[in-house]
Structure 1
Amino acid sequence: MFRTARHIVLYMGMAFTMLIALHSLRYLFDGAEAVSALSETDALLEYLSGRQSTFWYSFSISQKPLYHLNEFAVVGHISAASIALLAGILQLTPFIRQNAPLLHRASGYLYAFTAILGLGLGAYISFSLPMIGGTKTIISNVIGGALGIGFVVVSFIYISKKQYLKHAQWMLRSYAVLMAILTVYLLVAVFALMGLDAERGYGLAHMICFPINLILVELFIRKSSSSGILVLTHSQ
């Protein structure tokens, strides 16, 4: 039962992540102007809640000039994080881990580089842009970025020691931190549907997105490790 549920959640999550990551890569082509596309989310929120929503329109209008002033960092953050999400899918796919070791290794290096770059730039722009939600949003982003980068480093320390299970566990933890990029926007939508004002909902979403993801991945690791699911079956 757990195995079936795990596979359903895993592949549905992969598909959703891939769609969001590919959509976010528009920043590579449109630059800071791509932030305008966020306003399209208001139509979905309005449909789900039955109330007029202008949060993402207001967000895009207020952030666009700031995004232009810090365009290199913003585009680098979003693009690198999106590529890391896609590379992470290759890392998480059991078939690739077991049957394509070279692809697994290459995607691992790509993931490590882009995840560190994306998380690092994310922490940087938290300071350079006035963040909705205030200080708690900035602190959350900085802590999350530091944790994610630290988890990647720890995972590579373990793979250098050929401790494959520990390596897989820490890579999962780093990916959970990276996935907070998606979780925060889902939480903002939930809080908007609950009627919270935009700034409070945005700040609260940033405060709890990392704990939620890390708790979920820790539960997954504990359950999976006991059955040996995460042990890589090929030599690195």
Structure 2
Amino acid sequence: MQGRATGKSEAVYERLKEDIESLRLRPGAKLSEVQLGEELGASRTPVREAIRRLARDGLVDFVPGEVARVAPISLGGVHALFEFRMLLEPQAAASVATAGAADERVLVPFHDLLKRLEEFDESFRALDAAAQVRSYTKFYEVTEGFDQAVIAACRNPYLARTIRDLRSQTVRLRHLSHSRPRRMLTSLDEHRAMLKAITRGDAQAAEAAGRHHLAQTRQALIDSLTSQDLTLGRDVQVDLTG
């Protein structure tokens, strides 16, 4: 019985996590255990367990006197997250480049990713705007592959674990930062620069390229959060002082 409950909770957790990260469940959306249970064919216990896990991931908030809700996205939160990421991810990229310079086997997945990126870039630029939007998923597969490859190849286990633990937050924000095709094109160039630096074994260039990418992504997020055509929901707190 416990095994079945645990398995159901895991399935509910993965479904809700995917919906939150993809913004199908918008920031500020209320999460009713009863309603979610009916939609997902689950009892309240696995739904409650899944929501608690999502709260530990930072994707769900508990509001006193109300049901749980999808954690809001604020400018203050974006600034804090990217300040932290800039301490971690460029250093991880540099670590991987250094390891690759000493052992070429480390670089194999990065050479493969660079080839995939170049192929995607060529096909993406040939599409019209509507088709470009529909191809976002393929782009995310390449960038997610890059992030996971850096985590796997990073020689510092504490650094790798901390970056991995932030993935839920960064994946959700990724959909906002690439909300416009033009930003995707610049992000492609930024990932190309990071991949080329790593495959050359150039730690300094890899760190600089990683820092530049994060700075550009942060600005794209700020633009999305403050634009008039983006609706994050009535319950979202956009902290303009952060």
TM-score band, normalised by shorter chain: 0.3 to 0.5
Quick check: which has more Rg, 1 or 2?
2
User: Looking at both structures, which has the greater relative contact order when contacts are Cα pairs under 8 Å and sequence separation is at least 6?
Assistant: 2
User: Taking structure 2 as the reference length, what is the TM-score of the superposition?
Assistant: 0.33
Q: Please report the TM-score for the alignment, with normalisation by the length of structure 1.
A: 0.33
Compare the two structures and name the one with the higher helix fraction.
1
